[in-house]
Amino acid sequence: MGSTRGAASVASILLVLGVLGVVVAGATIWPLVAAAGERTELRQVTAKVLERRPCGPKAQGDRVEVRVGGETRTGTFSGCGHFAGTELKVLVPARARDGFVAVPADSARSGLEDLTLRTNLVLVTLAAVAGGGYGVLLAGRR
């Protein structure tokens, strides 16, 4: 009678771990899939600082001007404190319109790469928890 009860508790633990794994994996991967569909093509251009804005907790970023597709557009640089007339290498959307936000061209990681890293970390953690749970179940049989 004791072995039947033990098998039922093992099965319920495995069921809960399986459902939890599916929910966590789905919640983690969903933003990655959504971001991949929204990925915009970026183009490296030279931006000229038009207006220097001060740095601080409420910094808005310097106002810059770029030339994209033969047209001049103005937008905001995701940095502050550059002197007017300074030229910066930036990344802007390939179809930039006025009001765009430029990021430094040497930005190492994009938003999609950040989501990929987060997904990998969560899935590795989930695998470690599942492996630990399996180890506990095997140890309980002895």
- pLDDT of 50 reads 94
Q: Over 90: is that where the pLDDT of 14 sits?
A: no
Q: Nearest to residue 107, comparing CAs of 42, 48, 62, 39?
A: 42
Overall residue count recorded for the chain in this entry? 142
pLDDT of 1 over the 50 cut: no
CA 141/CA 23 separation, integer angstroms: 28
Hey, what CATH topology would domain 42-104 get?
A: OB fold (Dihydrolipoamide Acetyltransferase, E2P) (2.40.50)
Q: What is the pLDDT of residues 103-128, one digit of tens each?
A: 888 765 556 677 777 778 888 888 88
Domain extent listing, the chain = 2-38+112-140, 42-104
